[in-house]
Amino acid sequence: MPTPARSLTRNALVAAMTACLLVPLAACSTLPASSLTTSASDLLPTADAGTLIPAPASLQAREGWFRLDARTVLHARGEAATRVARRFAADVQASNGIALAVVEGEANGGIDFAIDPAFQSASKEAYSLDIAAGGVTVRAADQRGLAHGATTLWQLAASLRAEALALPAVRIEDAPRFGWRGLMLDSARHFQSVEQIKQLIDVMALHKLNTLHWHLTDDQGWRIEIPKYPRLMSVGACRIPAGEAGTDPATGKTRPYCGYYTQAQIRDIVAHATARNIDVVPEFDMPGHVQSVVAAYPQYGSLGNTPPVSNEWGVHQYLFNVDEPTFAFIEDVLDEIVALFPSQYIHIGGDEAVKDQWKASPGVQKRMRELGIKDETALQSWFIKRLQKHLHAKGRRLLGWDEILDGGLPAEATVMSWRGIEGGITAANQGHDVVMAPWDKLYLDYLQTDSPNEPPGRPTQVTLRGVYDFEPVPEVLDAERRKHILGLQANVWTEHMRTWERVQHAIFPRIAALAETGWTPKQDKDYAGFLARMPAQLQRYRALGVDYATTPFEVLADANDNRAAGTAQVTLRNPLGYDVRYTVDGSTPDTLSPLYAGPIATRLPVTIRAAAFSGINLLEGASTHAFSAASLLTRTDEQLATCPDTGRLLLRLEDDGPVDGERAIFNATIFYPCWLWTNADLSGIAAVKVRLGRMPYYFQLAHDEPARKFMPAQTAHGELLVQAGGCKGDVVARQPLPAKTGADGFLEVTTALPMGLDRSDLCFTTTGDTRPAMWVLDRATLVPATP
């Protein structure tokens, strides 16, 4: 307990810093308003030009400050500059609550926005920003550059929670490193509203991104209104979700998941993006990923059968056929897409086209013989070349995933390299333009931390640092070929993103790292400096109502216990490596709390509260970790390892029910469901209690199907198998399982363990075919023998 003197000092310091928490360190300084020709009694929070994301190409600090408040007037010269000024005013109103007037004409103090034909730069997105005590000037040769300058100015204001603030005097000369700075949104797997997509576009613009790649068609849904083909909307836009989620609990009838964008809505979204200097690149994925189309119009499929719109994830086998009626359909749809989207590029997919149906189709094989095409890879190349010719006639450029390289590619085609950077290297060396979007660096459906609070997704991590450190221009390319690297793009595949909150969690804050990699000169990038600027960025997100991921900023805790002694060593960590402060008395950590420096030795039970700090800036609320002798006998699925050498593919999966609301989440390896408690202390343990759930096996594996393994069941519904010594160790328990779970969707199974076991790797497996449904482990608890 602190002494009275320490308590007074601490309280005074905490009170003085209260306004600084959750905002940048520099925002805690104040500037006498007299230096800004206002009353000397005023103190203004001061923005820090060192908090900008992406970092500008050139920034020179100067003496002095400019006051921004409701009296500040925005001056704009010309129609384009007026649009930018009004957009800036709206953004400042949203983030700071400051209402700014826009006046057309010459500046007389205030903030001046001007399109200047004499402005010299190789990029139309370049700008200059001058802030001085007497006024602010934003200059560019093009509306796009002027908008970026306005964004930089907005970032300074939005990093503070203030309706009157001081902007530091600076001179910024800035231009992007790459011309393609993109984000892909998958609306085919899960559907987003028009307003949600507009919100995303708004925040993309405030990161200086310039391309929204919109994935609108896939096996699980068709999302574009095409009036000539109404079944695309009435059939292709709806699927019946797998398992419980596909049944209305009130009526027992099927409950479809539907959605498509009308042409009017698409034009509205495109216009919204254009006003924010963002190109919308549509994707019509083919010749594969077309099961939703074939469900609506089976005559365009390769085998003539009628599948449902898929409710499963993974690689599907449905392909377009290659006859003339099918190409008439494809070209009709492409013509509609071209009319809706003014983008230079039209994305035609081209990925994961498993050729089995083409091989099995007599019609396709006959067509290949007529065309003199030797194999199915060459057929896909012919297919892509035909699409390219059609788009070229419409004045557009074909863009596709890197599989379009297979078999040869038209010179005008552009490649988006997703299977790594190798496809991009090959394409650039062949003279094709390239957008780098490798899955292991820039796929945002991969989780960003190992926190148990992460939503469903792929647990293999794409971290904030991984995105930041990605270099789009491979060293192996010579100087001539490097010019073909247009830029980079992060992809948001939404199989596991049932809600808009999850989409935002996936995108933010990793989009900030993407933005800096795409904009800032390579030699000026600095990850430590980027992390130091992150508190200001989080304040901007909060000001805009962005539901960013908090998991990178929380504090995780692990405990190694000595059950016999009733003690534990607790390790704390922040995924991004920020400083961690903690308490053990139940109080909220602050800047005077102990700084974590190593494992905390403690008696049990103990409750540790911990938070991450950047300097004096609290990043998020405190995490609470309670440990006791009883709690340390339990491991959740997140805490358990996966069994090695089992062809594992670990996913973080959401249960299929309830139909609405929150659902349980399970970590499971879908090729061989198996969970491993490493180095379990089994001394004095008589049994293990395992909580299981059950969910549909909703995965299409295509040629990976042989990798799916399971142990044969010895009873009607399979068993829970427990092995000591790892996943190939001795079976120490086998418990038959029932046909289904309880009413709550779970099943608890308690099975005895042989006495006398010491420390061992304890393996949990369920036997029986994983299709049509598989058991998944929620948690395991060791049960001590009763005295």
Closest CA to 77 of 107, 114, 102, 111: 114
Closest CA to 358 of 396, 319, 397, 387: 319
Q: Give the span between the Cα atoms of 78 and 667, in whole angstroms.
A: 57
Q: Which two tokens stand for residue 163?
A: 């309706």
Active site residues: 352
Helices (H), 322-470: 324-340, 356-360, 362-371, 376-393, 422-429, 439-442, 464-469
**Cβ neighbours of 583 (radius 10 Å):** 17
- Asked if the peptide bond before residue 32 counts as cis, ω within 30 degrees of 0, the response is no
Q: For the purposes of burial, counting CB atoms within 10 Å of the CB of 569, is it exposed (0-12), middle (13-18) or buried (19 or more)?
A: middle
Q: Give the span between the Cα atoms of 687 and 783, in whole angstroms.
A: 5
- Asked if the peptide bond before residue 256 counts as cis, ω within 30 degrees of 0, the response is no
Q: Give the span between the Cα atoms of 533 and 555, in whole angstroms.
A: 19
User: Torsion over CA of 426, 427, 428 and 433, rounded to 10 degrees?
Assistant: -160
End-to-end Cα spacing for the chain: 39
Three-state secondary structure call for residue 553: helix
Q: Give the span between the Cα atoms of 292 and 237, in whole angstroms.
A: 7
Backbone dihedral region of 631: left (phi > 0), alpha (psi from -120 to 50 degrees) or beta?
Answer: alpha
369-400 CB burial, b ≥16 within 10 A, e <16: eeeebeebbbbbbbbbbebbebbeeeebbbbb
- Measured in degrees and rounded to the nearest 5, phi and psi for residue 342 equal -80, 0
- CA 459, 465, 466, 467 torsion: positive or negative? positive
Q: Give the span between the Cα atoms of 767 and 751, in whole angstroms.
A: 15
The tokens 């999302």 sit on which residue? Answer: 223
Helix axes 376-393, 324-340, angle to 10 degrees: 40
Please give the distance of CA 483 from its chain centroid, rounded to a whole number. Answer: 28
> 560 near 546, Cβ under 8 Å?
no
- Measured in degrees and rounded to the nearest 5, phi and psi for residue 693 equal -120, 175
The tokens 């205030």 sit on which residue? Answer: 110
> 232 near 296, Cβ under 8 Å?
yes
Q: In the beta sheet, which residues pair with residue 20?
A: none
